[in-house]
Amino acid sequence: MKKHLGLALAVLALCGVRAAVQVDADLPAGNIVVEKVSGDEVFLHQDLRDTAGDWFYWSFRVRGAQERKLTFHFTKGNPIGGRGPAVSTDGGASWQWLGAQAVQGTNFSYGFGAQEADVRFGVAFPYTEQNLTAFLAVHTNNPHLKVATLCRTERGRDAELLRVGRLDGRAEQRVVITCRHHCCEMMASYVLEGLIAGLLADTTEGRWLREHVEFFVVPFVDKDGVEAGDQGKNRKPHDHNRDYAGDSLYATVRAIREQVPKWSEGKLRFALDLHCPTLRGGGNEQLVFVGGPDTNRWHEAERFTRLLEVSQTGPLRYSTRNNLPFGKGWNTPANFTAGLSFGRWAAALPGVRAAATLETPYANAGGVAVTDASARALGQDLARALQKYLADSENSP
């Protein structure tokens, strides 16, 4: 079949007829609605599916556009970030920013090379189960990392649970970390990778953490949405991060609510939820820690953020002046009228000292590019700061 297709394309080329461009979202985390392809112009928009209101996540591939320059027109809002689209020319194995120079308003253009038969574009760098599996393979047989299943999702997938650190049940302190409550917030997953790598690193901080702390890590709270390419944010009737009160709708949230209190045994000291903010704007292009209404837990989280600020070494620079305590900016009671978030739920667990959310921008953080590498470096900075915070807490009354 491929041989015949290649022959047909060759005949079309000899006749001066260009083959039809194929634009689709039939790939993990794919999301796009193609309205029409007219010559070198592609008209499309993000698929909002069961989202209440508007959001900006999209990811698609283009095949059969070699040696052509196409312009992609978004027809519903402007879902392009400050560094333009993310692009991959190797089947999604690696990504880079196309750059703002390729963007004009709500459109972007791309010139396809002669060998670029499959090019992928996205609002940022996708991160799915495939990425996590590749990361975990590097740490196969590490005695300080156990890969388990949190639960089965509504669509029959395994939602991963990672246990990291001291796993013999004798850890003095415990930490819970969650990611992808909103499935579209993929850059947070690269931060999580770096954080786990920091926990397992042969460093003074890594060794201390593996001796004293056990981590309960949920990489994909909305696992189904991650794989399907959903928006996740503002999912109807409510999203995963508003599901921590009453009878939870989602299997992963039910499992977290059931398992974390039993596992922690009153030794839980820190709860951290990893997110990405909205796409553009000054406050959304900085690293921001967001606090809940429990002032004691937030004051402890602020103590952690001060340690992060003075110890960080990565290119994404965090400043405590960007912290968003409850009652400031958008972090007000009006935004929490429906449901209960993970952070507010975790802040009430026995023994917990600090609970916070970290928002890592999709593309720009203080003018520095957010990439897979820079986000992982941020995660390693978080691991070092956690060691300093927990070591100090161990000696506190």
Has residue 13 been placed in a domain? no
Q: Tell me if the pTM is above 0.85.
A: yes
Has residue 8 been placed in a domain? no
Has residue 36 been placed in a domain? yes
pLDDT value of residue 237: 96
Q: Regarding beta strands 103-104 and 33-38, do their DSSP bridges make them parallel or antiparallel, or are they unpaired?
A: unpaired
pLDDT interval class at 15 (50, 70, 90)? very low
pLDDT tops 70 at residue 12: no
In order, the DSSP letters of 55-90 are ----EEEEES-TT-EEEEEE-SS----TT--EEESS
Side chain identity at residue 349, one-letter code: L
Has residue 33 been placed in a domain? yes
Q: What are the beta bridge partners of residue 96? A: 87
**Which of 98, 122, 146 marks a domain boundary?**
122
Q: Interior CA angle at 377 toward 372 and 381, to 5°?
A: 145
Has residue 11 been placed in a domain? no
Name the token pair of 63: 């095949």
Has residue 7 been placed in a domain? no
> Which residue in the block uniquely carries the two structure tokens 């047909």?
8
Helices (H), 312-369: 342-346
- Dihedral of CA atoms 374, 375, 377, 383 in degrees, nearest 10, equals 170
pLDDT tops 90 at residue 110: yes
pLDDT tops 50 at residue 7: no
Task: Judge if 111 and 164 occupy the same domain.
Answer: no
Task: Judge if 43 and 190 occupy the same domain.
Answer: no
Question: Which tens digit of pLDDT belongs to each residue from 346-381?
Answer: 999 999 999 999 999 999 999 999 999 999 999 999
pLDDT value of residue 333: 78
Measured CA to CA, the distance from residue 341 to residue 181 in angstroms comes to: 10
Side chain identity at residue 115, one-letter code: Q
Give the domain range for residue 76. Answer: 19-122
Question: Which tens digit of pLDDT belongs to each residue from 35-93?
Answer: 999 999 999 999 999 999 999 999 999 999 999 999 999 999 999 999 999 999 999 99
Integer distance in angstroms from the first to the last C-alpha of the chain?
A: 71
**Is 286:322 a contact under the CB 8 Å cutoff?**
yes
Measured CA to CA, the distance from residue 141 to residue 168 in angstroms comes to: 16
**Is 172:228 a contact under the CB 8 Å cutoff?**
no
Has residue 89 been placed in a domain? yes
Task: Judge if 114 and 173 occupy the same domain.
Answer: no
Measured CA to CA, the distance from residue 21 to residue 51 in angstroms comes to: 29
Span 122-128, average pLDDT = 98
Share of the chain above pLDDT 70, in %: 94
Question: Which tens digit of pLDDT belongs to each residue from 248-284?
Answer: 999 999 999 999 999 999 999 999 999 999 997 777 9
Task: Judge if 235 and 329 occupy the same domain.
Answer: yes
Task: Judge if 145 and 279 occupy the same domain.
Answer: yes
Task: Judge if 159 and 259 occupy the same domain.
Answer: yes
Count how many domains the chain has.
2
pLDDT interval class at 330 (50, 70, 90)? confident
Q: Give the DSSP H or E segment for 142.
A: none
Span 291-295, average pLDDT = 91
The single-letter DSSP state of residue 235 is B
Span 378-397, average pLDDT = 87
Choice among 104-113, 298-307, 328-337 with the minimum mean pLDDT: 328-337
CATH number at residue 43: 2.60.40.3120
CATH number at residue 135: 3.40.630.10
**Is 149:188 a contact under the CB 8 Å cutoff?**
no
Task: Judge if 148 and 184 occupy the same domain.
Answer: yes
Mapped onto helix, strand or coil, the DSSP state of residue 21 is coil
pLDDT value of residue 229: 98
Radius of gyration of the chain (CA): 22
Task: Judge if 275 and 382 occupy the same domain.
Answer: yes
Task: Judge if 286 and 241 occupy the same domain.
Answer: yes
pLDDT value of residue 282: 73
Q: Give which of 2, 29, 40 is closest to 88, Cα–Cα.
A: 29
**Which of 81, 99, 122 marks a domain boundary?**
122
Task: Judge if 105 and 186 occupy the same domain.
Answer: no
Span 231-251, average pLDDT = 97
Q: Give which of 385, 336, 239 is closest to 344, Cα–Cα.
A: 336
**Which of 71, 94, 122 marks a domain boundary?**
122
pLDDT value of residue 170: 96
Has residue 6 been placed in a domain? no
Task: Judge if 336 and 286 occupy the same domain.
Answer: yes
pLDDT value of residue 17: 47
pLDDT value of residue 4: 36
Average pLDDT in the chain: 93
pLDDT tops 80 at residue 2: no
B/e letters for 13-33, b = 16+ CB within 10 Å, e = fewer, are eeeeebeebebebebbbbbbb
Task: Judge if 231 and 89 occupy the same domain.
Answer: no
The single-letter DSSP state of residue 329 is T
